[in-house]
Amino acid sequence: MKYDRLDEQDRYYEYTLNDGTTVLRYQLISMIKKSIGDDKKTVPQIAKELDADKQIIYNLVRYLCTKRVLGSKKMQRHSLYFVHENECLLAKLFYPPEMVDSFKIKGRKTYRG
């Protein structure tokens, strides 16, 4: 039995929007992230904006929350979801150039064995 790579497994997840178009999982995830942007939105707001079923959006949002791509804040009726600024701590540490300038080498030690 041959298994597919993880990035190729998204072709098995097809979602149909209310207007009849079918999109793949990674396409719908990028649409959700663009829809939220810098704001905080609930699942019904996202579903209305993307013209999709609420249950499909809810399942994908919960999947993204478990993968730490989205964050959530509990409210009375619906949870508010937002995109994390940096998905990886190493990317946050290594990519901004102003962060590299803040490190200074105070001294070096050499050991001979």
pLDDT tens digit sequence for 35-60: 998 899 999 999 999 999 999 999 99
Residue 46's domain is classified under what CATH number? 1.10.10.10
Q: How many CB atoms lie within 10 A of CB 60?
A: 21
- Domain range for 47: 6-101
Number of domain units in the chain: 1
Q: Residue with structure tokens 């791509």?
A: 69
pLDDT value at residue 12: 77
> Out of 23-32, 36-45, 76-85, 95-104, which region has the weakest mean confidence (pLDDT)?
95-104
Q: Does any domain span residue 111? A: no
- Long-range own/partner contacts, residues 20-29 (CB < 8 A, 24 or more apart): 25/60, 28/52, 28/56, 28/60, 29/60, 29/64, 29/69
pLDDT value at residue 49: 94
Q: Does any domain span residue 109? A: no
Q: Does any domain span residue 66? A: yes
